[in-house]
Amino acid sequence: MKNIILCLALFVSILFSTPVPVQASQFSDIPDGHWARESVDFMVKKGVLSGYSNGAFRPNEAIDRAELTVMFHKLFNKLRPNLNPSIPEMKIQKFEDVPKNHWAYQPLMEMYDADSFGVVDWHWDKVYIYPEKKVTRWDAMYFFQSFVGEQMYQMPDDQVLPILVGIDDITVQSFDSTGYSTRSPGSLAIDKIDDGEYTISYSYLDTGELIFANGDIDTLKAYALAWLVGNDIMSTWENQLEIHDPLTRAEAVVMLQRIYNVLLADGSLSTYTSK
């Protein structure tokens, strides 16, 4: 009888004790205290990450387009733009540089449609994605915009410019009806003042509405950057995005978890994933 009572007491104590968090499998190069450890553990638990055969994750290695796509494909398992594009003509049927035996063929074919500006590359009737090309921090903006652009465009207009003018390695400039442009107050772009790729031009209508130049291109860049930086998904260093630097595997994982958390907080996560 005494043994039964002891076993029952032990069972009750286990049942009502505070659960201890279970850590994901630790990669050999992601020790406790590593700045990306929490995000890496999160992604392992979600079934997004697996390391190399030697047990390493290689956090400081530059990520390529295929790897980033596969991570997003696994985490946001409801997002498949190219399977059901809003306009049938936007569906991409083939990437010239992604054969069917490519290790990331399915994610690459499902995640991008013809509207994926800055990601897919058209040469007349042929489309390229360059799966092994390394992703820069500037490139990352285009990739994330192609995935969660709908959320980005919901950012209030009055929050966009204050964020953009605080980024020193892009140029923010205003233009008037004659096309004359002047650099926006507070914009201190360092080396890309005359480079249209890293320049965002805007104006205000008589109604006070904020508009951007170059059709939808500057609008895309403006809202994407403002949303990423404003939600602390993409961090600046001494007011710079370091736009030319490669995006590392660790940075990509941290950014993906932060996007997940933002979507969770605003109630839209279930649109993107069941995880």
Kindly state whether residues 165 and 126 are assigned to the same domain: no
Residue from 252, 138, 126, 146 nearest 199 by CA? 138
- What is the pLDDT confidence band of residue 146, given thresholds at 50, 70 and 90? very high
Pair 42, 255: CB distance under 8 Å: no
Q: Which helix (H) or strand (E) holds 148?
A: helix 137-152
> What is the distance between the alpha carbons of residues 269 and 245, in angstroms, rounded to a whole number?
30
Domain membership of residue 112 as a residue range: 23-134
Give the tokens for residue 167. 């980024």
Kindly state whether residues 181 and 216 are assigned to the same domain: yes
| Segment 119-133, tens digit of pLDDT | 999 998 899 999 999
Residue 15 counted as domain residue: no
- Non-local (6+) Cβ contacts of 75 within 8 A are 43, 46, 48, 256, 260, 273, 275
Kindly state whether residues 128 and 153 are assigned to the same domain: no
Kindly state whether residues 175 and 228 are assigned to the same domain: yes
Residue 210 counted as domain residue: yes
Kindly state whether residues 82 and 110 are assigned to the same domain: yes
| Segment 210-255, tens digit of pLDDT | 888 776 889 999 999 999 999 999 999 999 999 999 999 999 999 9
Residue 230 counted as domain residue: yes
Give pTM, 2 decimals.
Answer: 0.84
Residue 165 counted as domain residue: yes
Q: How many domains does the chain have?
A: 2
